[in-house]
Structure 1
C-alpha cells in the first residue's frame, strides 16, 4: 500500500441495521442476524435479491473452551446468505484481527472491482453462558506451553501487561482512566441500542470496581453481549438513487504482523511502533490528516486502547494521553473536545467489536444521528482492536 487509495470515494455505505444489545438474547444469534440483515437491506431501499455480495468476520472472540457453531455462536457470510435466501456472486470472510475494517476493505474492493453491486457487511457477537474466557484445557502445547501454565492466558493478562508498563513509564494514574470510562458510559447511556442505555458511570464507581487482572478492573473491559449489526455498501453512482445520503469510504489501513513474541505478549514499544506504521499508512491511503477528522471513533474494547490510539494517530504526544483525557480532551460535550467516544464505543455500548465506531461514523456523516447530530461532519474515523494489531477506516460525507 502506497499513496492515496485509487477507489477512494467510489464506494459508500447506504443503509444499516442493528439489533438490541443484550447480555444474553432470548433467540439464537442466527435469527438476530437474519432479522438485522433484512433491516439493513430495507433501510438501504433494496431487496434481498439486490444483494449479490456478503462479507463479514466470523471470529468468536473467546479464549475459553466454547464451541463455535455457525448460526448459534457465530454467523459466517455464507450462512447468512443461505438463510436470507440470497444468490450472491461474491461471498468472503475476513480472517484477521480488526474484523470491521478488514470486512469493509473486502467489501469496498468487491464493489470497486465489479465483483458485486451491493454488498452486505455484518458482524454478529455471542456471549456464551458461564465464564467467557474460562477453559477446561489442562495441557497446552506449542508456544502456549510457556505462558498458559503460569497464568498468562487470555486477553486480560495481555492488556494488563501493556497497561502496567504505560502506567509505570509515564506516571499515569487510574484517575485519568476514570475520565475515559465516564465519557464512554455517558455517551453510551444516550443510545437506545446500547447495553448501558440509561446507565452512566461515575468516576467514584469506576475507581471502586474490583480488579480482574491488576491494573485492569472490571470497568476497563467491555461487557460480552449478544448483538448483530449490518451495513449495505454499493457504488457511489448507484447510491445516488437510494433513500439515504451516502457515506463514502475514503481509505483504510490494517496492521501488519508484529515482531515474533510469546502468545499474547504485547510490549508497549511493539504497540506504539506498529501503531505508528498503521497510522502513517491510513493517512496516506485516505489522503487526509488527523486534524481533518470531525468524528474520530477510537477502539476501546479495553480502556488502555484509547490511550494507545490517541498517541499512535497523533492526537497527542506519546506518553501524554493520560494527561490529555484528564484535562477534558475527549469530552464530547466540551467545545474543542475530541469526540473519540461519542458513539459510546465498546465500553459504553457492549462488546460489539468495531461496530459502535463504524456506526457512529455512518450516522453522523449521513446526518442520521438525531438529537446527537454534530455540526460540520465531513470526515469520520473508525478504529478496531489495537493500533498494532487491528485496523481503521476513514469515511467521508462527500465523494473523495
Structure 2
C-alpha cells in the first residue's frame, strides 16, 4: 500500500454482538456463532435478509494436534452464510498475516467496491478439551526437525526468546510486566462478558504465578476460551440511517512477509523492523500519526507484545516501553495515561484474538461503552498479533 487509502471514511461499523466468554461453552461453537451473528444484525437495525456479505479469518490458533472442524472448532464465513443469509453476494475468508485486521480489510474493500452492501465480520474462538497445545506427534520433518527436539515448539518459546532479548538489551526489570497484566485484568474485570469479569489481579498474585517459559509466567498468556463476536459493516451513507453512531474505518495496514527463519523463531530485531514497516504503512494510509491516536488498543495475547507495539507505533521511544509502563504510562484510570488496555485486551477477556481491541474502539467511538465511556475519544487504533506478523486498523468517530 502506498499513499492515502482511497476508501478512508467510506465504510463504517454499524452494530455488534458478543457472546459470554467461557472456558467451555455449553453449546457448540457453530450454534453460538449463528446466534451472535443474528444479534449483531438486529443491533444494527437490519434483518438477515439484508445481509449480503460474510467475512472472517477462521484460523484455529492451536499448535496442538486437535482436529479443526468447521462449525465445531472454527466457523468459516461460508458455514455461517449458509445458516444466516438468504442469498449472499460475497463470502470470503482471510488467510494471510494479521487475521482480524485482514478480515476487516476484506470487508471494507468489498463494501467500497460495491461487491456487498452489508457485511458481517465475525471471529469464533474455541477451547478444545484437553491441553490447548497438546500434540500426539512423535516425529517431525522439514524445518521443525531442527527446533522440536530442543523443545522449541508452540508459541511459548516463540515469545520468550524476544522477551528475553528485550530484558537483556534494555536492562528491563521483568517484574515491571506485572503492571501490564494487572492493568489488563483490572479493565477486563469491568466487562460483563469477560472470562475474568469481577476478577482483577494483584501485583503480588502476578509475581507468585509460575513460570511456563522463563521469563513468561502463566498469567502473561491469554487463557483459551470459547467465545464469539460479530460486527456489521456497511457504507458510511447507509450507516447514517441506522440506529447507532457509525464508527468509520480510516485505514489499515497488515505486516508484510517476515524474514525467513526456523519455525516460530522471532528475534527481537525482526519484530521491531517489521513493526516499523507496519506502522509506516498505517500512517501513510490514513494520513494520521501516533500523536493523533486517542485510544490505542494494543494486542496482548502475550504480555510482551504490549512493549513491542508501544515502541513500533512510536507511542514511546525504542527501549523505553518498560519504563513507560513502570511510570504508570498505560494506567487507564490515571489522568494522562495512555489507555492501551482499556478494553481488557486478551489478558483481561480471554483468547479472543484481537476482538477486544476492535470492540473497544467501536464501543468508545460510538459512545456505547456505558460506565466505561471515555471523554474525547475520536481516533482509535486496534492492533493484532505481533507488529511484524499482524496488523492494525484505525477507526474514527467522524468520516474525516
- Cα deviation code 1:305-330 (max 9, x no counterpart): 00000000001111110000000000
- Cα deviation code 1:159-193 (max 9, x no counterpart): 01111111111111122100001100000000001
**Corresponding position of 2:264:** 264
- Cα deviation code 1:174-214 (max 9, x no counterpart): 22100001100000000001100000001110011001111
- Cα deviation code 1:4-39 (max 9, x no counterpart): 111000000000010000000011000110000000
**Corresponding position of 1:344:** 344
- Cα deviation code 1:87-137 (max 9, x no counterpart): 200000000232110000000000000000000000000000111111110
1:296 and 1:382 in contact (8 A); partners too = yes
**Corresponding position of 1:322:** 322
| Cα drift, residue 85 of structure 1 | 4.1
1: distance between equivalents of 2:79 and 2:60?
Answer: 15
Q: How does 1:75-224 map to 2 (within 5 A)?
A: 75-224=75-224
The alignment partner of 1:347 has SS state of helix
1:222 and 1:346 in contact (8 A); partners too = yes
1: distance between equivalents of 2:203 and 2:165?
Answer: 23
- Cα deviation code 1:251-282 (max 9, x no counterpart): 00000011110000000000000001100110
1:182 and 1:201 in contact (8 A); partners too = yes
**Corresponding position of 1:289:** 289
Aligned residues: CA RMSD: 0.6
1:21 and 1:193 in contact (8 A); partners too = yes
2: distance between equivalents of 1:301 and 1:395?
Answer: 21
1:98 and 1:354 in contact (8 A); partners too = no
2: distance between equivalents of 1:374 and 1:307?
Answer: 23
Q: What TM-score, normalized by structure 2, do the two folds share?
A: 0.99
1: distance between equivalents of 2:84 and 2:54?
Answer: 11
| Cα drift, residue 150 of structure 1 | 1.3
2:51 and 2:85 in contact (8 A); partners too = no
**Corresponding position of 1:36:** 36
Q: What TM-score, normalized by structure 1, do the two folds share?
A: 0.99
Count residues in correspondence. 400
2: distance between equivalents of 1:327 and 1:150?
Answer: 38
The alignment partner of 1:192 has SS state of coil
**Corresponding position of 2:225:** 225
2: distance between equivalents of 1:213 and 1:86?
Answer: 48
2:52 and 2:85 in contact (8 A); partners too = no
1:174 and 1:207 in contact (8 A); partners too = no
Instruction: Find runs of 4+ consecutive structure 1 residues off by over 2 angstroms.
Output: none
| Cα drift, residue 86 of structure 1 | 2.9
2:97 and 2:256 in contact (8 A); partners too = no
Q: How does 1:301-320 map to 2 (within 5 A)?
A: 301-320=301-320
**Corresponding position of 1:383:** 383
**Corresponding position of 1:16:** 16
1: distance between equivalents of 2:180 and 2:10?
Answer: 35
> Does 1:356 find its partner at 2:359?
no
Gaps in structure 1 of 5+ consecutive residues:
none
Gaps in structure 2 of 5+ consecutive residues:
none
The alignment partner of 1:253 has SS state of strand
The alignment partner of 1:274 has SS state of helix
The alignment partner of 1:383 has SS state of strand
| Cα drift, residue 48 of structure 1 | 0.4
- Cα deviation code 1:49-80 (max 9, x no counterpart): 10000000110000101000000000000000
1: distance between equivalents of 2:318 and 2:291?
Answer: 17
2: distance between equivalents of 1:6 and 1:399?
Answer: 13
